[in-house]
Amino acid sequence: MSNSARHRVVIVGGGFGGLKAARALRRAPVEVTLLDRTNHHLFQPLLYQVATGVLSPGQIAPALRSMFRHQPNVRTLLAEVTGIDLERRVVTAAAAEEIELQYDTLIVAAGARHSYFGHPEWAAIAPGIKSLEDAAHVRSRVLGAFELAEQASTDAEREAWLTFVVVGAGPTGVELAGQLAILSRRVLKGEFRRIDATRARIILIDGTSSVLPVFSEPLRERARQDLIALGVDVELEAMAVSIDERGIEIDQHGRRRIEARTVLWAAGVQASPLTELLAAGSGAETDRSGRLLVLPDLTLPGHPEVFAIGDMVSVEGVPGVAPAAIQEGHYVGKVVVARLAGRSSRPFHYLDKGTVATIGRTRAVAEVSILKLAGFPAFLVWAAVHLAYLVGWGNRFEAVARWMWTLVARNRRERLISTQSLADDQVAVAERLAG
């Protein structure tokens, strides 16, 4: 069989879903082209640790190319998808030049971005963490706020720089707020001369009546208590009404304003804009978050050769979490293999392996079926699960070393900012407010 006669699979996105789909095709007589806007896979569940200086970007983002070095049927391309023609079965992508890729099977796993609930103008003020660039930006904003507090000329300015609001109390918001508390209470303690970093206010707000809504009630309450013990103000049933450079207005049974120079976003997600291309071409519907409603075998209506998986799709009973994307990627790879062998496949079935979220340094909550864990035992489960999914033994080893380091030493490895990075936003704000 000549190469050109091989079944061509194009995979868009090197996240959990795309990666797993490509892996599931490793022995299949196919030619896989894996497209990503970056040259790396990104372990998003640990991104908040890059944003708070625990891990280096490289430790959670192995190069896609090196992951597929020994799988010769995968070709990796660094390029951004610009179009999908479902009729001609062509994906167009751009890097140096525009590339056209003909496919026999298309697997789209392009993930999700932040959603600002109809307020796109908040994006510039309240950054979230979805990419490594985001994480570096948030790190610079957070550490820069302490630097500018040290230099502030009035008490009001100083307090506003020392007030941090995290919007959204899902796992990312809880983990981020917990790390901010540790940063201020422990890591930065004693490093400043004019401010007391430990007096920084960390405020976690959420529109619902509890933190970590995916967990059952006793664990939600335990997580809230753990956050309070770390020094986080947990404000529930509180909605963001407006956000500007000086602070945030919230509605919590009545409106009030919080003067805060740093507002971080961990609230909504919005499916990749590629869903619109796929919906327009196939007539598939999308939900409120822009996620595609796919068929039970994760294909588009009328297009059995096009799969969509991960955070960009909505499947009944399947949450938007990494394990779901992984299972979907694996399933889709196996469906392609089965079809090539002339076999049929069952619909996708999600296996809920449980949920875990960490709070601060050594605490977590974990729920696996009827088993509920909290505190240090849950933290051990959290660490084991995240290490198991982290790609590469070297990265696992380094992550453990850094976590142990953060337990023992009052410091963080990755704390780099410069006046150049500050100038991108904070200094401009500070100058406007001062002037």
Please give the DSSP secondary-structure letter assigned to residue 309: -
Residue tagged active-site, from 31, 175, 398, 414: 175
Which of the ranges 55-63, 318-326, 332-340, 379-387 carries the binding residues for its own copies, by CB under 8 A?
A: 55-63
41 burial (CB, 10 Å; 0-12 / 13-18 / 19+) is buried
Contacts of its own copies in 149-188 (CB under 8 A): 150-153, 188
**Residue among 105, 272, 327, 426 that touches its own copies (CB under 8 A):** 426
Interface with its own copies, residue 37, by CB under 8 A = yes
| Residue 414 backbone zone (phi > 0: left; psi -120 to 50: alpha; other: beta) | beta
**Residue among 208, 239, 417, 425 that touches its own copies (CB under 8 A):** 417
Helix (H) or strand (E) holding 174: helix 171-182
Contacts of its own copies in 107-146 (CB under 8 A): 131-133, 143-144
Give me the residue label for tokens 């206010």: 201
Contact call for residues 289 and 270 (beta carbons, < 8 A): yes
**Residue among 29, 88, 95, 228 that touches its own copies (CB under 8 A):** 95
Three-state DSSP at 255 gives: strand
Nearest-angstrom CA–CA distance, 302 and 300: 6
Nearest in space to 105 (alpha carbons), one of 2, 4, 3, 6: 6
Nearest-angstrom CA–CA distance, 358 and 127: 21
Nearest-angstrom CA–CA distance, 259 and 245: 9
Known catalytic residue: 175? yes
Interface with its own copies, residue 237, by CB under 8 A = no
Interface with its own copies, residue 41, by CB under 8 A = no
Complex with its own copies: residue 81 or 279, whichever CB lies closer: 81
Nearest-angstrom CA–CA distance, 174 and 351: 25
Residue 133's alpha-carbon distances to 48, 72, 225, 425, in angstroms, are 12, 30, 32, 14
User: Phi and psi (nearest 5°) for 89?
Assistant: 55, 55
Which of the ranges 122-130, 176-184, 360-368, 413-421 carries the binding residues for its own copies, by CB under 8 A?
A: 413-421
Which of the ranges 34-42, 215-223, 251-259, 300-308 carries the binding residues for its own copies, by CB under 8 A?
A: 34-42
Contacts of its own copies in 380-399 (CB under 8 A): 394-395, 397-398
Interface with its own copies, residue 419, by CB under 8 A = yes
Interface with its own copies, residue 361, by CB under 8 A = no
**Residue among 124, 156, 228, 416 that touches its own copies (CB under 8 A):** 416
User: At its nearest, how many Å lie between its own copies and the CB of residue 197?
Assistant: 10
Interface with its own copies, residue 413, by CB under 8 A = yes
Complex with its own copies: residue 376 or 405, whichever CB lies closer: 405
Interface with its own copies, residue 191, by CB under 8 A = yes
341 burial (CB, 10 Å; 0-12 / 13-18 / 19+) is exposed
Nearest in space to 13 (alpha carbons), one of 41, 49, 52: 41
Give the binding-site size for its own copies (rule: CB under 8 A). Answer: 68
Complex with its own copies: residue 152 or 318, whichever CB lies closer: 152
Complex with its own copies: residue 160 or 177, whichever CB lies closer: 160
Nearest in space to 105 (alpha carbons), one of 280, 312, 338: 338
Which of the ranges 76-84, 113-121, 166-174, 316-324 carries the binding residues for its own copies, by CB under 8 A?
A: 76-84
Nearest-angstrom CA–CA distance, 35 and 32: 10
Interface with its own copies, residue 79, by CB under 8 A = yes
Catalog residues that contact its own copies under the rule CB under 8 A.
37-40, 53, 56-59, 61-63, 65-66, 68-69, 72, 75-80, 94-97, 99, 131-133, 143-144, 147-148, 150-153, 188, 190-194, 394-395, 397-398, 401, 405, 409, 411-420, 422, 426-427, 430-431, 434
**Residues annotated catalytic, as ranges:** 175
